[in-house]
Structure 1
Amino acid sequence: MIAQMLLKNKEKSTYKEDSVGEKPIRSVAKALSWRVVGTLDTLAVSFVLAQDITLAASIASVDFITKLILYFFHERAWNIVKWGK
């Protein structure tokens, strides 16, 4: 019985929860979903301004990658902050 409980605990997720119970994978999912919205906006604005879909797609692609990474670390940093919780 105890051995089963120990094995069950080891089978749980390898991600550690932070102080509010969120796992880093949740931050990744939030970052991805938000970046899809933001990238579509960037693509539209870039296309309107440049009138060139290739240039607009290039801008949107770089924007997607850089802001995805920045958002992930921003989200994780805010999960450490106790203010407002």
Structure 2
Amino acid sequence: METRRRSLAKAILWNMIGLLCMSLIGLAMTGSAAIGGAMAVVNTVLGFCLYVIYERLWARIDWGRVDV
């Protein structure tokens, strides 16, 4: 089982990557760094929260695990 600390570290790193990508997409689509950045921040915060919950739920599910 993963620790909460590991799940949190993975979520932070993944969301930093997502923030960068979403900022660039928002900038490209709106032409505004402020609007694109705001869209990226909202997306990142929501995605971060959902990802942590998702990972913690899967950490409790034994299906597909193999003990070695």
User: Is there any run of 5+ residues in structure 2 with no aligned partner, and where?
Assistant: none
Note the alpha carbon deviations across 1:46-74, whole angstroms, 9 max, x for none. 11100000000100111111110100000
Instruction: Tell me which stretches of 4 or more aligned residues in structure 1 moved more than 6 Å.
Output: none
Indicate which of 12, 26, 29 corresponds to 1:49: 29
1:61 aligns to 2:61 (yes or no): no
User: Is there any run of 5+ residues in structure 1 with no aligned partner, and where?
Assistant: 1-19
Aligned to 2:16: 36
Q: TM-score, normalised by structure 2?
A: 0.90
Q: TM-score, normalised by structure 1?
A: 0.73
Aligned to 1:76: 56
Which one scores higher on RCO, CA 8 angstroms, separation ≥ 6?
Answer: 2
Percent same amino acid among aligned pairs?
28
Report the CA distance between 1:83 and its aligned residue: 1.2
- Measure, in 2, the Cα distance between the counterparts of 1:26 and 1:69: 15
Report the CA distance between 1:30 and its aligned residue: 0.4
**If you compute each CA radius of gyration, which structure gives the higher value, 1 or 2?**
1
- Secondary structure (helix, strand or coil) at the match of 1:60 reads helix
RMSD: 0.7
